[in-house]
Amino acid sequence: MVQALTTDEASVTNQYVSFQPTPRTLMGPGPSDVHPRVSAAMGRPTIGHLDPEFQQLMDEIKSLLRYAFKTENKLTLPLSAPGSAAMESAFANLLQPGDKAVVCVNGVFGGRMAENVRRMGGELVLVESPWGSPVDVAAVAKTLAEHGDAKILAFVHSETSTGARSDAQALCKLAQEHNCLTIVDAVTSLGGIELDVDGWGADVVYSGTQKCLSCPPGISLITFSDKAAEAVKARTVPVQSWFLDLSLLMAYWDGDGGRTYHHTAPVNAMYGLHEALLMLHEEGLEASWQRHADMHQKLASGLTNLGFEFVVEPEYRLPQLNLVRLPAGLDDAKARASMLANFNLEVGAGLGEFAGKVWRIGLMGQAACDSNIALCLAAIQSVK
């Protein structure tokens, strides 16, 4: 016999309903607007993560990732975790206790790289540059000359906390001259500006889905050069993270037909990643880079007319992440809250020493378009 619920019990039972978020236009530092094609792809029927059809999808994802990264690296794959996991995987696989790592810090995410070295028992050497400026190549050259036993040079290509682009090609060249492996954070780079893994000789480069790919957050992307892969094989102690151990992951992602179960991949999220990479391939890398540059110029012109000043010098600015100083009298939190309430528009606040002083306005992927720029400028005009 089924016992009837009391009034109070029924009230508690029915207090929850399906979540229906208010549609927003996302012009912050990420996540970016998700393209409708990506959303539709993620709604397709779920199949098993060892299904032959899913294995075919895995192979296509790896091929499309090589295109996006401009690399022939065999060890190029997505990780079933957000971008921070790829950062940790890079250090966990390359760094052994006692290894010396030179880490360049010119913002929040360089600082997170340094923290990985500390937590993994490495010997940390910092090269610090002012926030809003690129990594100082001359300072890195001097540091590497002074630390000839350094194993790793790590830096952020596109610093999301400041909107500054560093000279990845020059830094990778320095690392090669000093026999260092490079770890490059390209989370905000991929699809938005030039990124040439093989051409620059980068060793480990990682990114994420939620920036210029217009895909939801939750998956990270990483590639290892042959030199980096050999360094992993030469380890004398196990990788401290089981989940992020490259050798175990590749046993699952290898396309030889003999995949070994490692974890249950987020199948529908991988559908979305595949669609996003397919769209980047259809548009073309150079065309995507140019679109982001063109949209940046339009936004920059409008922001300047409204009294905003860019923090980063023109030659180092990220077109996909615009750091602007707030005009005198404009209240950061109140203005952003007003734009969210009245225009459903999200822009990003400043971090660290920039908190309360700047906005980070994203033009990433799907968001890098004329209609978003018009909406953003109108919303800002309403709060000035």
Q: Specify the amino acid at residue 197.
A: V
Q: What is the pTM of this model?
A: 0.94
Query: Within a 13 Å sphere around the CA of 274, how many CA atoms are in the beta-carbon half?
Result: 19
Say if CB 313 and CB 344 are below 8 A apart: no
CA 81 – CA 247 distance, rounded (Å): 17
Cis previous bond, 45, omega within 30? no
Digit-by-digit pLDDT tens for the chain (384 residues) are 556 656 565 556 678 999 999 999 999 999 999 999 999 999 999 999 889 999 899 999 999 999 999 999 999 999 999 989 999 999 999 999 999 999 999 999 999 999 999 999 999 999 999 999 999 999 999 999 999 999 999 999 999 999 999 999 999 999 999 999 999 999 999 999 999 999 999 999 999 999 999 999 999 999 999 999 999 999 999 998 998 998 888 777 775 555 677 888 899 999 999 999 999 999 999 999 999 999 999 999 999 999 999 999 999 999 999 999 999 999 999 999 999 999 999 999 999 989 999 999 999 999 999 999 999 999 999 998
Domains within the chain, CATH numbers bracketed? 25-33+285-383 (3.90.1150.10), 36-281 (3.40.640.10)
Residue 113 tokens read as 């790289």
